[in-house]
Structure 1
Amino acid sequence: MTSVLARRVAAVAGASAITVMVMLTASCAKEEEKAPETSTTTTTTTTTTAPPPSPTDKAPRLEPGGPNPFSPTVIAPPAPTAEPGDN
């Protein structure tokens, strides 16, 4: 008799928890007023061409066989080794 009562209490608690979660979700999901839609038309015409961009001095140069500009300059000490059989 006690296990049946415990199952019923657990079922009621679970169902009420689900109901509360659904109610909280529904209360938080309210529709907001949408802004009025406006449409605009823009026409742009250009007759001149811009010169090609020049390379910057700050950009790293990647050359085949050259040094890697992205490698760190500080090298960390190696990890200590454990004695055999010690994990």
Structure 2
Amino acid sequence: MEHSEFHIGLDFWCGKGRWRCTDVGTRTVVAIRLDQFKTTAVDAGKAILESLTYEQANAAGWFIGPPYAVAELVFDENDLKSCSLESDER
């Protein structure tokens, strides 16, 4: 994709990951990942790593921001070439 195609709120794919654009800079794009969520829960004093679905993370408000409950990643001009509006999994 070209830098000019990105805007805040745009969902796109990079590799096998689904992302949402959270900021557009002069030469970069910042995004949050929408398909991989891990959280730690405590049960009987033991930490348990749990995976959440998109629906669970969305219902918990993880995509409301800034600030976001998930990490933002910076895509530079070289990374943008690998981005697409469609998933590679067809």
- TM-score, normalised via structure 2 length: 0.16
Q: Which has the higher contact order (CA 8 A, sep 6+)?
A: 2
Larger helix proportion of the pair: 1
Larger strand proportion of the pair: 2
